[in-house]
């Protein structure tokens, strides 16, 4: 169907290496020209051997899940005639030991806050159904073993206060 590529580049930069005291900072480059600083998570490898300013693989996985879910949700909402003004997700991934005792991203919780406008805002149940459909459609969620749950705020589906007229 499609291929997606990334170029990951790291350089020893003169470090001894075999003493395990080398920088984990590296870069990710993508086909559209974007290059991002990356590193091991400072939670896994303490600075200065990691760079807290760099994107770490764990953050990238959480962001990929959130972004994929959001893109599907927006598409579904648009097809159903709902106008989305903003979508902000405070996604959280949990790195824990799995059933086999290995460290893994075992859970990712998406907490989207969505503001609707337009002539009709979806009811809370319609928002929940769109989230369910987006989750089933998300390529990234379909690719990971971690449980991915969506916890929208209790007032999901309500128009933004300043849009009530």
Residue ranges matching CATH 3.30.300.20 in the chain: 58-163
pTM of this structure: 0.89
Read off the pLDDT of residues 102-121 as tens digits, 9 standing for 90 and up.
999 999 999 999 999 989 89
Pick the CATH number of 58-163 from 3.30.300.30, 2.30.40.10, 1.10.150.120, 3.30.300.20: 3.30.300.20
Say yes or no to pLDDT of 153 above 70.
yes
Distance CA 142, CA 4 (A): 16
């Amino acid at each position: 169907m499609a291929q997606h590529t990334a170029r990951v580049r790291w350089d020893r930069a003169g470090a001894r290496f075999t003493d395990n005291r080398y920088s984990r900072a590296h870069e990710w480059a993508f086909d559209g020209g974007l290059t991002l600083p990356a590193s091991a998570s400072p939670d896994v490898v303490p600075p200065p051997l990691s760079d807290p300013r760099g994107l770490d693989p764990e953050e990238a996985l959480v962001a990929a899940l959130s972004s994929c879910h959001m893109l599907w949700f927006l598409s579904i909402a648009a097809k159903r005639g709902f106008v989305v003004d903003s979508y902000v997700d405070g996604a959280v991934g949990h790195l824990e030991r799995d059933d086999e005792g290995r460290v893994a991203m075992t859970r990712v919780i998406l907490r989207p806050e969505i503001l609707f406008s337009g002539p009709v805002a979806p009811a809370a149940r319609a928002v929940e159904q769109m989230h369910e459909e987006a989750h089933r459609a998300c390529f990234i969620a379909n690719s990971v073993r971690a449980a991915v749950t969506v916890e929208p705020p209790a007032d999901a589906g309500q128009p933004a206060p300043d849009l009530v007229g």
